[in-house]
Amino acid sequence: MVSLEDIRAAAGRIAGAVERTPFVPSRTLSELTGARVFLKFENLQFTASFKERGALNKLLSLTPEERRRGVIAMSAGNHAQAVAYHSARLGIPATIVMPRGSPNTKVKNTRVHGARVLLEGDSLHEAGAHARELAARERLVFVHPYEDPLIIAGQGTVGLEMLEDVPDLEALVVPVGGGGLLSGMAIAASALRKGIEIYGAESATYPSMHQRLAGKPVEVGGDTIAEGIAVKDVGDIAFGIIGNLAREVFVVQEETIEGAIVALIEVEKTVAEGAGAAALAALLENPARFAGKRVGVPISGGNIDSRVLASVLMRGLVRDARLVRLRVTMPDVSGSLAKTAALIAEAGGNIVEVQHQRIFGTASVKSPEVEFLVETRDREHTEALVALLRAHGINVSGA
């Protein structure tokens, strides 16, 4: 239902209103994964995601009478912002139905563009049902986030740009929710580069496309940092395309997605949401599959709550043993605390926080437990610090 010509037409239609984002190699991530990694920075779009491409392509197809009636969309956030922003630009009234519990930053940024925002349902599926009822009642044009050839063609312009910039790409790894981005990119890439390998990436809590491609019942649910791809009902159009053109849809763990977010910030100095980092996470979990290959990876979005991002970064420090909690049992005599702190400083550790525990969890009232939160360079540095403490007779645990 969607061809390379449709994608090229979409590219011409949206040119000037949507950014042609950078597509550049990452030397450090290439060393980390063993592949030759090229990143497409779709998080640099005005609304910080690729969703603008498909949304605008769809809105530009509406008749004058449809524009007057207005549009409605259901979304966990990025499609909502894209529809709201471009509808406002084009003077089209927009209603957005978002699931309760959508990230605050996405709800706020959708309202900023002047759309009517309704929080309905506990999932995208329930929000979609409410949106369809409202569309029928108010005669609004339903702008689906992925089950629409015009949306897929618009998203396919990401792949078109990637292959135009780096024609000799050997593989693409793309995040999958409903499948609009992967299916559109697969059409463009496979038409432009014979033999290119195309892969998807889903969160382990919402492996809907992976399960459906395997012919299994779709069983999903649970918390995920990649709420942008937490989709139960994948698109039938996308399913057909992906089934024909993609080699595999990887299922990636939450911990790896968090690690990919941290890597993108620390290495590329760029912010990715969970869904936006899922493709890099798949690369990190499957290095042997891509060793030595030129791999294109879209950073599909950067809309992440500041609080969540802060937690991810701190958890990353803990995971890498760069922020450690040391429990020290020491005699309750003058100078004990100072001695331990001095040894930590001597080892190059930075004490972030100290908690003195005299009541709970201590073996003796004469041996209080002191908990140090310490910043170190890496795991080896942490191990050396602990070894130094023990060498001086200090009872330490928890590293």
Query: What are the catalytic residues?
Result: 51, 300
> 94 pairs with which residues across the strands?
71
Are 131 and 83 spatial neighbours (Cβ–Cβ below 8 Å)?
no
- Unique residue bearing structure tokens 């919402």: 206
Which of 305, 304, 324 minimizes the C-alpha distance to 314? Answer: 324
Q: Show the beta-strand stretches assigned E in 138-252.
A: 141-142, 171-175, 197-203, 248-252
- Unique residue bearing structure tokens 């990119």: 185
Backbone conformation region of residue 367, classed left if phi is above 0, alpha if psi is from -120 to 50, else beta: beta
- Give, in order, the Cα–Cα distances in Å from 123 to each of 80, 145, 217, 252, 308: 15, 14, 18, 21, 20
Which of 83, 89, 78, 81 minimizes the C-alpha distance to 55? Answer: 83
Count other C-beta atoms under 10 Å from residue 190's C-beta: 21
Are 174 and 185 spatial neighbours (Cβ–Cβ below 8 Å)?
yes
Give the single-character DSSP code of 30: H
Residues 6+ apart with CB under 8 A from 337: 330, 354, 356, 370
- Spell out the SS3 assignment of 271-333: CCCHHHHHHHHHHHHCHHHHCCCEEEEEECECCCCHHHHHHHHHHHHHHCCCEEEEEEECCCC
Q: How many residues does the chain have?
A: 399
